[in-house]
Structure 1
């Protein structure tokens, strides 16, 4: 039976293309039974010169504790790792046991999903890629005056002005009368990439964010603003 194998979108480090390659049920020929196996794989090797060799100084594998919102270092490989045409993957066959993964107190598996990350250092070229770096705090506020009049325009949805976070252009998308399961009963709000942002094929973009509506009942009593006339949305 063929082993089940996944792979991430491609990313670049040191001028080479890479993928994260997990085996959810373990890599059988490497004694990975009962574990999740995770490997770093070099991609697009057909574009490399005959006899190629790529040296990587450090590879670290992480798994996200979704309860505490922290990445835990599971395996850390220091020392030079060599990739060649007969060895295009390097990693750990027993990165994480299924028992550890399924233990809900660890927070690794929540709503049937888990998240892995890795850091790759190629110091000979002075480059590093971190798939789990923590972004700077960025806030965008969308102020909507006369919200009741805004709803009466009867458009299905509205976009905020464009804003930039972590080098990407974003917008908020608001459905005053709700969308999907919230239609006619809720206010629906989404974070969306601006239409000018085009991701390359096979590339995914992950974002950690919070969408909030400010509670205006806490404003000073002398302030004449009323919540039905003033709406603040921020991310």
Structure 2
């Protein structure tokens, strides 16, 4: 957790933590939530990262017949709660690693650019540009998805983008709100 040093010793934070793992063969997510967590409240000096240290056996996870790893690719997701109450212009995910780079997902609840005010917009963003010559480029092929929680009719956009020091955000993907 960022910024915990500034908190007093009697602080407490409770979390509702869910992790989504896509079964790519069935097109459905395995949802892991609080019931699997050892603790869901964090106190003063008890800081540790929320998560699941025994999420799934590697054997089950990598078994191609289960659909979690397809073509050497797995899909994890995050849930945005109380979407209607989001007030900021945009939200940034925690940084994650893919390839040799650090990335983030940017979510604009009220849209961005041509989608401003009419669409939800999401971007893949290069989080930490390593010092490189100005002509350096990072080419990425990526997919961003929005899960239809009621009908399993998910929207997925696959895109290609050449990230540079002047173009650190991937192509905007929007969905009608």
Q: TM-score range by the shorter chain?
A: 0.3 to 0.5
Which structure's CA Rg is the greater one? 1
Q: TM-score, normalised by structure 2?
A: 0.43
Q: TM-score, normalised by structure 1?
A: 0.34
